[in-house]
Structure 1
Amino acid sequence: MRILYYDCFAGISGDMNLAALLHLGVEPEYLANGLSRLGLDGEFALELSEAAQGGMHGLSVHVRLIGSQEQGQGQGRTFAAVQEIVGRAELAASVKKTALTIFRKVAEAEARVHGQTVATVHFHELGALDSIVDAVGAALCLERLAVDEVWAAAPELGGGTVRCAHGLLPVPAPATEAILAGMPTRRGGTDFEATTPTGAAILAATVARFTSRPAMTVRKTGYGIGQRQGGVLPNVLRVHLAEVDGEAGVSAGGQAGAETVAARLLQCNLDDMSPEQVGALVDLFLDAGAMDVHLTPIVMKKNRPAVQLSLLCAARDEARFRALVLRHTTSFGLKSFPLEKTELERRMVTVPTEFGPVAVKEALLAGQVLHAKPEFEDCRALAARHDLPLAAVMARVMRHYGP
């Protein structure tokens, strides 16, 4: 199996990631051509140069903003605004999916941190044009490398403080910490922000396995040189193209317009946790990105009433969810079953209503919308704000959405 391995010994940022993947062999012309399809030409320039730190020679990338973008115009975009930019671009569906997954990881983290919904939260730094270039560029480069899986070492988060849209914050920034919840990390290796929210989201959206001791045969190495100088660690991201034994984590197939994803079903039986504790597990695992979580009443040995916890996740996330289940339950072990899940293409659109904007999720097959439904949390927040029945708000949203 062919993998991309992120050696994040000094963290990861969006520009370091682009530089490392270009140094690994992705053609600059390919990246530039893909980014031009965003329809934002004339607003930025991608500057590529040779650089070195700590005796490691590689490439450095800088996204130079042009005109009004230099003044910060475009900061604070919502997820819907970013989704529109990516959605209208003439890019492969797989590239769009990866890019939007990166953005959604940040949107969900920001929403949790600031007590908002995905539809209303503003991205701030990640809504800026240079971060859009970093995220879409990451998706383009990963598509070009055509690896079966992405693996990574635990990323170094850094230390000290970082100044962002909300002021001076401790490192890791709250969004970065939320994005990487449940994943292995290191911190304190240097006195600045080593892993940015964009870098964290790239890992969260693409990495199938975190391991510090991969058994692999390295075929090629790339170095992405960051902008910081003089730290305890060189500001460098190292990546490897390598071969390992194993099967690919995702397979294409199924019906046209749908995707068949390699998944894992994790199960364990719980007979010594209170109903409140067991119920809290559902939200915990869904917030961490599980595809599905459900609880089934069972009777165990000695006629003990118990609950079977079943968690469905992508194959690439199995190691992370194994650790989460073992950490947050009283189970001494768990079972894992391989399976395939066929998913319709999903698309989020924003519907204006008299109550405010609401996100609506569409399910598509071969480009045709089969069904749609409003985002529950958006509707629940609006129902509470306007003292209306939840069902009435959801019905009104769908009337605005279409016939």
Structure 2
Amino acid sequence: MKKVLYYDCFCGISGDMNLGALLDLGVEEDYLRHELSKLNLEAEYEFQAKKDNKKGITGTRVDVLLKNAAHTHQNEHHHNGHHHHEAPNSHESDNHHNHAHRNLKDIETIIINSSLNNRVKKLSLDIFMKVAEAEAKVHGKPLHEVHFHEVGAVDSIIDIVGAAVCIDYLKVDKIMASSVQVGGGFVKCAHGIMPVPAPATVEILKDIPVKSGIVPFETTTPTGAAILAANVAAFTDHMDFSIEKIGYGIGHKELEIPNVLRIYLGYEEKDVTREDQYILETNIDDMNPELYGYIEEKLFAQGALDVYKTAISMKKGRAATKLSILVNEKNEKSVLDIIFRETTSIGVRKYKVEKIMLPRDFEKVCTQYGNVTIKNAYYQGERVKYKPEYEDCRRIAIERNIPIARVYREVSKMMEDDNYDK
């Protein structure tokens, strides 16, 4: 059984919504407070967590209130989702308290010098790096020169280190998320009027599936985006696990939809793995059949997961071959290159398939003829089949000048005799 954390970002994600949802899910508040105290920043902020309700959904709301915040940061609430310390427009950004101007080096120093455990330190720095790289790129500055309020602010440090503490506390095997709602419209911040999602948010969410425009407000902040980017192994709207607990993090906005983040804690059966893959296929009736072996080798070399040929009858009674290739998204382009450069095909059909696989592993078995690699497959925790690797058996048969069937029989005998069942 794999323990899974799944972020349901139907109304986006911000740093404080994330902390609220993880506390709601069962992370102990006292534990989180104790770990955060290791940063030695308590003179600068006050951490509040309380039960709250949005549009009938009850959850936990987190506020990070800054002390000495007489002239607080008028731009943070746009970037970090902390709308609770919005400042009047008369306070320009240069009035920021000195602690708002910490740069990446300062933050790294605070984290590295703390007594937090190494897993939390590493994860915190990974999340900060995602934000810092995005801000540096957006503002056109070298990484360690970026003096930006967004990440420098104490509330971001608490949001990000807090996220790392909670994730470490939950000890899950896998973190997944839905596609991420980013919102829409425009937002005022220290730099002027920004489109939603803010440039830094978009930068962080590269390669992550997003949705937009459910409300004309910013629903995902750079901090929220970075927490996902640094932690999530798979983004999918297809949930394939049993849910044990649900946590709701309450946001600070009043929207037409509930401004909450939902996080599920559940278990994934290890019986089978499901993966989305693609079949590329093309019908060929005008190619020298000798070329298929060569093309097949090249396709496998470029990452094809399977290649097979079917005899078909095309129009006007032409005998032909349907070439089918199973491929994942990553290798699709290089496989298409081979088809279009090496075969006579001028068009390909593509469709998505779901592949369901048993978990497998490999072991070496020592036979009287030498070592043979065995591929084992498991179902519901027990080994249900095993198969000697053909190449090993072939090599032994040629070297020893014995029938290959004898090598297979020898392996079977050893597997049964030693009762290799695990």
Q: What's the TM-score, normalizing by structure 2? A: 0.60
The aligned residue for residue 183 of structure 2 is 158
| Residue 208 (structure 1) aligns with | 233
Return the match for 1:227 from 235, 243, 252: 252
User: Among 145, 152, 157, which residue is 1:132 paired with?
Assistant: 157
Equivalent of 1:122 in 134, 147, 156: 147
Match in the other structure for 2:62: 61
Output the CA distance in 1 between the equivalents of 2:29 and 2:187: 31
User: Counterparts of 1:166-315 in structure 2 under 5 Å?
Assistant: 166-229=191-254, 231-246=255-270
State whether residues 220 and 240 of structure 1, in contact with CA within 8 Å, keep that contact through their aligned partners in structure 2: yes
> Would you say the 8 A contact 1:99–1:136 is kept in 2?
yes
Letter in 2 for 1:137: G
Percent of aligned pairs with the same amino acid: 45
Given that 2:138 and 2:200 are in contact with CA atoms closer than 8 Å, whether structure 1 keeps it comes out as yes
Deviation at residue 301 of structure 1 after TM alignment = 5.0
Quote the residue 2:119 is aligned against: 94
Assess if the C-alpha contact under 8 Å between 2:302 and 2:331 holds in 1.
no
1:51 is paired with a residue whose SS is strand
Q: C-alpha deviations, 1:222-268, integer Å up to 9, x for none? A: 10000101x12211000111001349xxxxxxxxxxxxxxxxxxxxx
Conserved 8 A contact 1:182-1:324 = no
Question: Per-residue deviation at 1:167?
Answer: 1.7
Aligned residues: 276
SS at match of 2:98: coil
Segments of 5+ residues of structure 2 without an aligned counterpart are 73-95, 272-292, 304-327, 338-349, 353-359, 362-422
Contact 1:72 1:128 in 2 (8 A): no
Equivalence for 2:282: none
Alpha-carbon offset, residue 54 of structure 1: 2.1
Deviation at 1:213, TM superposition (A): 1.3
Listed one character per residue, the Cα deviations across residues 292-323 of structure 1 (whole Å, up to 9, x for unaligned) are xxxxxxxx958xx99x889xxxxxxxxxxx75
Q: Closer, same or farther in 2 for the Cα pair 1:327/1:104, shift >3 Å?
A: farther
TM-score by length of 1: 0.62
Label 1:67 to 1:53 Cα distance change in 2 as closer, same or farther (>3 A).
same
Say whether 1:144 aligns with 2:145. no
Give the deviation of 1:124 after TM superposition.
Answer: 2.1
Q: Per-residue deviation at 1:76?
A: 3.4
- Residue 324 of structure 1: CA displacement? 6.4
Aligned amino acid, residue 39 of structure 1: N
What residue is the counterpart of 2:138 in the other structure? 113
CA distance in 1, matches of 2:44, 2:335: 50
Partner of 1:285: none
Residue 178 of structure 1 aligns to a residue in which SS? helix
Alpha-carbon contact 2:8-2:262 (below 8 Å) kept: yes
1:25-36 equivalence runs, <5 A: 25-36=26-37
* Residues 174 and 309 of structure 1, relative CA distance in 2, 3 Å threshold: farther
Output the aligned Cα RMSD. 3.3
Look up the equivalent residue of 1:189 and give its one-letter code. Answer: I
8 Å contact 1:160–1:191 — kept in the other structure? yes
- Rounded to whole Å, the distance in 1 between the matches of 2:294 and 2:101 is 55
Checking the alignment, whether the CA contact within 8 Å between 1:74 and 1:127 is kept in structure 2 is yes
> 3-state SS of the aligned residue for 2:258?
coil
Give the stretch that moved more between structures: 112-121 or 198-207: 112-121
The answer to whether residue 49 in structure 2 is matched with residue 42 in structure 1 is: no
| Pairing 1:84–2:85 present | no
**SS state at 1:183 partner:** coil
The gaps in structure 1 that reach 5 residues or longer are 248-299, 311-321, 340-403
Structure 2: how far apart are the matches of 1:167 and 1:190? Answer: 21
Letter of the 2:180 counterpart: P
Question: Cα–Cα, structure 1 residues 72 and 158, in superposed 2: closer, same or farther, change >3 Å?
Answer: farther
Pick closer, same or farther for the CA change 1:51–1:115 going to 2, 3 Å. same
